[in-house]
Structure 1
């Protein structure tokens, strides 16, 4: 897991100042999402030889940047700036081959309905983020004890409280569009 943490930190550290007091909260959210991707992968119908999501460029990049637009662009309408950050990263790493996939993973991670087939990276990522944001109320087959173990290892550190604060602020400022990141 330390290699995964190192890779995440390589992507996130340039944004540490921008994240400010939310650094630990966001970093642990990203790590929980990746851990939930791994759990979903383990119970899916994928071949046992396929790589664990948290070790792949597409998952690491989508996870690191998926909500970062909140802080980088100072907006709760953060999907476009988050996608832009991820695309820039992929370009700098000479991995433009993953541009479409990572864009879909970020753009559809708040889709209310299924985004793709259950084993698709887009859907695995959407489900993993949903698990975290819903406090495990929705687990997509991941056992409660596995969810609880991950949450204990990677505490919230105020991440959900920050989301509530941002939602309240957005609702006051844009009452007709309180949650612009959600899609049907």
Structure 2
């Protein structure tokens, strides 16, 4: 329970400068970030790899916080590069430039169609965790329905998926030849 309280606080603090831009989507986005981190922890535990869980690691917290934030901060659905820029700015401000390359690889690779490496690789682990959430648990990479449901109970959707549908439809109307510019092979 203590780890959730600390994680909740850390993510809320990172998102604080963006509360006005996120507006009514603040809780939905914050819970998405927290669900992605929880799913990453569960997936990491399944790999049997050593080390701290992703939610305790700076590169995962930073990538998760900023991975979709470009949608709101830059006002675009082509948001990977704006999200990388936000993450880089945060890392520079907090003297963690050493993580910039990895964090941007995680952000740029989180919508890859094909795997980005082995299951414990940070980019692939992050990609899978985000996909679990975006797909509403339809793809769980071996996580049980109960594990998925437990994370969603802790951090409810709060309208996140409806917002994604609305953004996707709006993008498809305006750019019918490029409805999902964030998808990578």
CA shift, 1:94, in A, is 0.5
Q: Which runs of 5+ in 2 are unaligned?
A: none
Equivalents in 1 of 2:32, 2:147: separation in Å? 16
Partner of 1:8: 11
Equivalents in 2 of 1:124, 1:145: separation in Å? 20
Paired positions, count: 182
CA shift, 1:148, in A, is 0.6
Partner of 1:118: 119
Equivalents in 2 of 1:106, 1:58: separation in Å? 10
Partner of 2:56: 55
Query: Once the two structures are superposed, what CA deviation does each residue of 1:120-153 show, in whole Å capped at 9, x if it has no partner?
Result: 1100000000000001010011111000111111
Task: Give 4+ residue runs of structure 1 displaced > 2 Å after superposition.
Answer: none
Partner of 1:17: 20
1:12-91 equivalence runs, <5 A: 12-47=15-50, 50-91=51-92
**Matched position secondary structure for 1:98:** helix
Equivalents in 2 of 1:127, 1:110: separation in Å? 9
Equivalents in 2 of 1:126, 1:14: separation in Å? 25
CA shift, 1:21, in A, is 0.2
Equivalents in 1 of 2:118, 2:147: separation in Å? 23
TM-score (norm 2): 0.97
Equivalents in 2 of 1:57, 1:10: separation in Å? 14
State the Cα RMSD in Å: 0.6
1:106 and 2:107 aligned: yes
Query: Once the two structures are superposed, what CA deviation does each residue of 1:91-110 show, in whole Å capped at 9, x if it has no partner?
Result: 00100100110000000000
TM-score (norm 1): 0.97
Query: Once the two structures are superposed, what CA deviation does each residue of 1:9-60 show, in whole Å capped at 9, x if it has no partner?
Result: 121011000000000000000000000000001111312xx00110110000
Q: Which runs of 5+ in 1 are unaligned?
A: none
